[in-house]
Structure 1
Amino acid sequence: MSTTNTSEDTLRNWQQWHEQRVETVSAPYGPLSLTGTHWLADHPDGALPGLGGHWADDGDELVLTAAADDGLTLDGRPFSGTARLTADPGPVAAARLALGERRLVVLRREGLWAVRDFDPGAPARRAFAGIEAASYDPRFAVEGRFTPYGQDRTVRVSNADGVERGLGLGGELAFHLAGRDHTLQVSVEADGSLWAVFADATSGGSSYRFRFLRPAAPGAGGRVTVDFNRALLPPCAFADHFICPFPPPGNTLTADIAAGERHVSLR
């Protein structure tokens, strides 16, 4: 394949990726639809704002007691009585609990229970006009090398909601960009792909205060493409009720990463 065709394919693939991202975040149950994350620990009376029913922490389960007039459904059927719930593992649309068109996602973090309220009618969905992203720039797609740690590590980092939580890290991603060597501490996902939370010299200015990067699973010798053209806005850029982790120590790059998603555009 010629260099020209390769470049055209790369640009086309990036454009398709960007368009798919816009569709995903603006979908009825995408991140823009999150209107609340209600932690049970903040509501000892068991009443969560606007959700009806009584919610209680019972160790490894969340116990919901509701009456028919609370309007809740469980597994697609009107619900009354008592149900013992665990965290929802799948997509928001597949959540077991609903209140009309809203989906109520059961969440557990570090032993604490919460319920997330996703509403297709959220004002943020109506105000959304797109994702501001830089044009594709091949200078920001470089080869890197992943080196796993001898054993996984957990560091405590602040989250977007002001709470400090553990962030699991599985190794280090090294690469050369803008005339300098850089490293990022990264998590390793179940499928072997990588996840980095990073900031750079543009963060809080021409780009959001931090972003995510999700390189593919490393190949032979730990080789992996580090493509900042696919830097992602974190979910908390779309709704205030997400608890995204801030970058761990060492993941604030000195380079200007003028690539990837920058800001949410509003009408």
Structure 2
Amino acid sequence: MSTDLDAADAWKRWHEERVRTVSAPHGPLALTGTHWLGDYPDGQLPAIAGRWTDGGDEVVLRAAAEDGLTLDGRPFRGEVRLGADSGAASSRVALGERRLVVMRREGLWAVRDFDPGSPAHRAFQGIEATPYDAAWSVPGRFTPYEKESTVRVENADGRARGLGLGGELRFEIRGVEHTLQVTVEEDGSLWAVFADATSGRGSHRFRFLRTPAPAADGRVTVDFNRVTLPPCTFADHFICPFPPPGNTLSVAVAAGERNLVDRSSV
């Protein structure tokens, strides 16, 4: 039978892995730009070689040898059509140590620039997180909507985008029931964007909560110890969604990842 000590050790390993992932050469700290192709009709993106244009269902990249780009690890010149990458690790195009990641959101194409030498990488001192507390791991119950809904929410880059919501997650904290609207991921796990009474006052202005896939009857463990900071905490060029209406908890969730470690305090 697992104990609170086992759970605390598992949390410590999870936290250490989070720090390693975030600070990896092409992790979130490396993102130095998200360039929407619609904003650059001539195809010339800031500080990125070649010409990148919207080809409808793909991105068209044209480059000369002197641009210094590589495609699938080899020097590239000419024209190629590119689909969306799943992340920096799978990006096909690079410029030296930088990875150029093709992405698509709501039918619009963009190119992200991941640079291991980014200022955020150099400034990173760690993630401020509250040590494990069993009181913040509580039983919950998921109730799916009859039909998934989409709400428009502001994103960190100032644009509104759709956020798909598949149901409600109910749980109690200190005897008080709370509800969050959640997204159902492809593997059945749940994801919530939420704020709470600590947001902007001891924690980032919003955070992410993830749970495993619920049981057939909707039961699921809601572990706030593993609440994470959104990617836009690590780099300004992510487009994280803000919490949808109703996803601001009245309780102070003093658990999980809270902020970046303040460099001046180290």
**Structure 1 266/117 Cα, relative in aligned 2: closer, same or farther at 3 Å?**
farther
Match in the other structure for 1:96:
92
What is the deviation of 1:266?
4.3
| Structure 2: distance between partners of 1:127 and 1:61 | 36
1:242-257 equivalent positions in 2, closer than 5 A: 242-257=238-253
Match in the other structure for 1:42:
39
2:121 equivalent among 125, 136, 139: 125
TM normalised by structure 1 equals: 0.96
| Structure 1: distance between partners of 2:170 and 2:262 | 36
| Contact 1:127 1:266 (8 Å CA) reproduced | no
Aligned pairs, number:
263
1:75 equivalent among 69, 72, 80: 72
Match in the other structure for 2:103:
107
Structure 1 residues 136-179: Cα deviation after superposition (integer angstroms, max 9, x where no partner): 11121100001111111110000000000000111110001123
**Does residue 263 of the first structure (1) align with residue 259 of the second (2)?**
yes
| Contact 1:144 1:174 (8 Å CA) reproduced | yes
**Does residue 201 of the first structure (1) align with residue 201 of the second (2)?**
no
Match in the other structure for 1:58:
55
Match in the other structure for 2:161:
165
| Structure 2: distance between partners of 1:229 and 1:83 | 45
Match in the other structure for 1:16:
13
1:129 match: secondary structure:
coil
1:7 equivalent among 4, 13, 19: 4
**Letter aligned with residue 153 of structure 1:** S
| Structure 2: distance between partners of 1:266 and 1:182 | 31
**Letter aligned with residue 224 of structure 1:** V
**Letter aligned with residue 232 of structure 1:** T
TM normalised by structure 2 equals: 0.97
Which range moves more in the overlay, 254-263 or 5-14?
5-14
**Does residue 85 of the first structure (1) align with residue 82 of the second (2)?**
yes
Structure 1 residues 106-165: Cα deviation after superposition (integer angstroms, max 9, x where no partner): 011111110000011111111111100012111211000011111111100000000000
**Equivalent pairs: percent with the same residue?**
70
1:155 equivalent among 148, 151, 154: 151
1:154-233 equivalent positions in 2, closer than 5 A: 154-233=150-229
